[in-house]
Structure 1
Amino acid sequence: MHKYWGVIFALTVTFSCKDKNQVEVNNSLVEIAEVKKPIKKHFGFNLDEFNVQLDTVKYGDSFGELMLKNNVDYPKIAKISEDFKDTFDVRKIRVGKPYSILKSKDTTEKAQVFIYENDPINYTVVDLRDSVTAYRSKKKVRYVEREASGEIETSLSEAILDQGIDYNVTNNLSEIYAWTIDFFRLQKGDKFKVIYKEKYINDTVYAGAEPIEAAYFEHNGRPIYAFAYENDSLNNIVDYFDDEANNLRRTFLRAPVQFSRISSRYNLKRRIRYYGYKLRPHKGTDYAAPIGTPILATADGTVIESTRRGGNGKYVKIRHNATYATQYLHMKAQKVKKGEFVRQGDVIGWIGMTGNTGGPHVCYRFWRNGKQVDPLKEDLPQAEPLAEPLRPAYYGHINPIKEQLDCIAYPEKINEEEFLTLNEENVAK
């Protein structure tokens, strides 16, 4: 017992009154290294200077009410609402979005700074101290290149998810090849490879995937490369070109709905039992999808009708040029108005069941020279290939990327016997 007390006495420390940076240990003065407390920062603010409230926008919350609860007066709230609409529209805060309120450390706990997180990367700061200011900023993001590959067994989305890839990469890949591959008719054994970047906040928090930089898709044994490249002849728009500098984009999308199915094709000889098998031609192509699914403009053009009429229900009609027009029927609601110009891929409405319809779908009608035709049988023109003067630089850019794509291996397949063996081994463990 006594030897333990002896150890304690040997380590007894007494503070010397001679110097606050020295202590006496066993009758000897020892210097104390000054330890600085690390500064905790949040969106560039020193949190030690504030009382901090971290929360998310809830149903019924408004910017004004949040500020009033935190002792900000009406004139200041009004100034923010009126003077900073372009930077921070107080009407557009959304339920579920995170926000932070940095409050004064006195008894009032008055809000000094309001920080609204628009998305995982972008945020808006409203500084309420002195003269009010508002600005947008971004968190520091690290980009990590990723390679991925897969083989189709059932669907593209399943093949991509099996590799642990962000689902948005599925959408991006389908958009790149939307004009060259019919995703309604993918074959078992079709293969793909992609190169893209993933975003990370503070090196650890995943923040999504960037657009695909390069891809390879083998459909029915036909290989199709795709490389993102800025096409100066098209006002600096990034397009995807193959290994021969052909633009993968066509003037029209194959379908107005992503990942849908064709429930009824264009058929001028259609007869329906309900109508006594009388001839009732179907001059559209029906794409079935859940109510609320976005409907996309299949090409650039001007909206010439956005209305509701009879069996068509709510619909939109777009004139693309002197030759082509398209029409989209049975919408739940339209997003565009007559006279608006829309770009290919823009959302123009949502799947519904208005008019004469037995289920949720969009009836897609395609007009050429004023006559309705079958879009799936039209030989639609491709977009312009890369301009000749740009090709040498393009080939120099894609050659190493093409080699990188070619070197990406496909995931190894495990046959049924190997799977059963591995499963038995895991059970035994």
Structure 2
Amino acid sequence: MQKIVRTITLAYNNLPRPHRVMLGSLTVVTLAVAVWRPSVYHPEHNPIVKSVELEANQLRVLQPEASEPIDADQPTPDDDIPEDELDQKVAGEEGVHEYVVSTGDTLGSILTQYGIEMSDVSLLASQNRDLRNLKIGQQLSWTLTEDGDLKRLTWEVSRRETRTYDRVGNTFKETKETQKGEWRNSVLTGQLNGSFVSSASAAGLNRAEINAVIKALQWQLDFRKLRKGDQFAVLMSREEFDGKSEQSQLLGVRMRSSGKDYFAIRADDGKFYDRQGSGLARGFMRFPTMKQFRISSNFNPRRVNPVTGRIAPHKGVDFAMPVGTPVLAVGDGEVVIAKRSGAAGNYVAIRHGRQYTTRYMHLKKLLVKPGQKVKRGDRIALSGNTGRSTGPHLHYELWTNQQAVNPLTAKLPRSEGLMGKDRSDYLAQVKEVVPQLQLD
């Protein structure tokens, strides 16, 4: 051992001075680390855990600074959106959501914008792989359970084939139905004598067909302002089986109001265009402000109240923004509500056509009045912190067919027309349809 020590000492002394200094420093550091023993957590020792229960009023500090309190339900306004005869649904249609497949749509992108969990979509698509091949113009409709889970999905593959998927436990059972009737076209004409609904019913249209006409012309006409003597012609394709009409499809409509003609013709994509192939819808902006602000609380139809444990859906998106920020109408429409309204604070609701409604809450100042027409981009209010709010923000909602959807992902109405071969095919169809829409 002494021989080893002498050998090491001799080798150390023969090193250049800088090397001796460096080696000595490393030795000191090594000894210091060896002596220092940090406390180490051993999993076999149970840690001391203390549960702390917060009072309801203490939850405020745990949530986004600019939002609605998480320990309270959705800040629903005191007033519902006014409805009229045109909003009436077909018997048995309550709770049914409908969607026409458009360019770029997938089963997931369609259903998740309505708040349906991706796990439900994945389960359905994995068990029924054909649903991955949706085509433009096809229609989907679905119903949900009380907890917001997907209960049933109906896929109209074609006018003759319909597939229904019903939830049974953790599976979806598929049922196929093939129509066997004959499709025949018929033109129904009428003249307003009272409301459009009663006049169209007298002309032979059922409630579903009347709704289809209203939806097709919603961007061109205010049906509440039609006058006595206005005329209409409707081209329906109806399936008849055993002498009864089983289902129908609107192919085209012409409305003459105050001497002016309005047309809507159905294209192969399931949407309606004018006689030149131009889009009838009015385009929407994605955001109700001039620039995009931080999202303090997202759309969440399954949000749980942490105090009650009940589902308290958040039907819109909260944008944190300074008080006084201009709030804009996202699309053309009519103001139906502009007032102070309970937990929503100062509140504006705008109706766009007959399908879409937008809501804007917690405003500081209202710049519009009920009944006022607004254009896309018009200033309607200044953002604020009124009502039940934890900080300056704007709560914004988008509703389609009386159902709240995610404003950040929903398919928005667009005003572009048909192009290329789609347009030439459509114009050929127009030449066949328009001559049939003769008024008496």
- Which structure's relative contact order is higher, taking Cα pairs within 8 Å and 6+ residues apart? 2
TM-score by structure 2 length?
Answer: 0.37
- Structure whose residues are more often strand by fraction: 1
TM-score by structure 1 length?
Answer: 0.38
